[in-house]
Structure 1
């Protein structure tokens, strides 16, 4: 697992190729990341299913309650199949853009 921090955002990327253990690591180490916006980089995985992505739903809900952004990056994915509570985008750049927009919305009180 690779963790990069850039300003108020942490990007977490799997380097092992084991989705289940990556999800467990992120979940167990969540307290370390909870005060930052999070980007979960799943670009390593080429055949992700909607059910795999949905496994991040509890973390996403918990993170958004504390007024922080939680964005998943996945390529070659049916973005329409994802629940509205999850934000899934195709690139890291787009993830940063989403976080910037959400930060502005929070500053404006939305």
Structure 2
């Protein structure tokens, strides 16, 4: 797991372990970036299905309820199988765009 910081956004990049292991690592390190927006970049993971994306569901709900963005970046998942509570972007730039848009919405009181 690679952790980068860009402004108020933490970018978590995963390349080798399973999604379940990644979610556990994020939960363990969550206090470190709980006040930031989070982008989880998973483009390096090949076999990525609905059961994998659902692993992020609770983490996404909690983070979004705390008024922060939580975006998963993957161009290898069918968006039709993604639950509505999880935001997926195909590229890292689009992930940043979503975070920026959500920050503006929060600033406007939405």
Q: Deviations over 1:27-77 (max 9, x none)?
A: 111111100000011111112011100110000011011100000011121
Question: Which residue of the partner structure matches residue 12 of structure 2?
Answer: 12
Instruction: Tell me the residue number matched to 1:83.
Output: 83
Equivalences for 1:1-110 in 2 at 5 Å? Answer: 1-110=1-110
- Structure 1 residue runs without a partner (length 5+): none
- Provide the aligned C-alpha RMSD in A: 1.0
Give the aligned length: 110
TM superposition outliers: structure 1 runs of 4+ over 2 Å? 15-20
Normalising by structure 1, we get a TM-score of 0.95
Seen in structure 2, the aligned counterparts of structure 1 residues 77 and 16 have a Cα distance that, compared at 3 Å, is closer
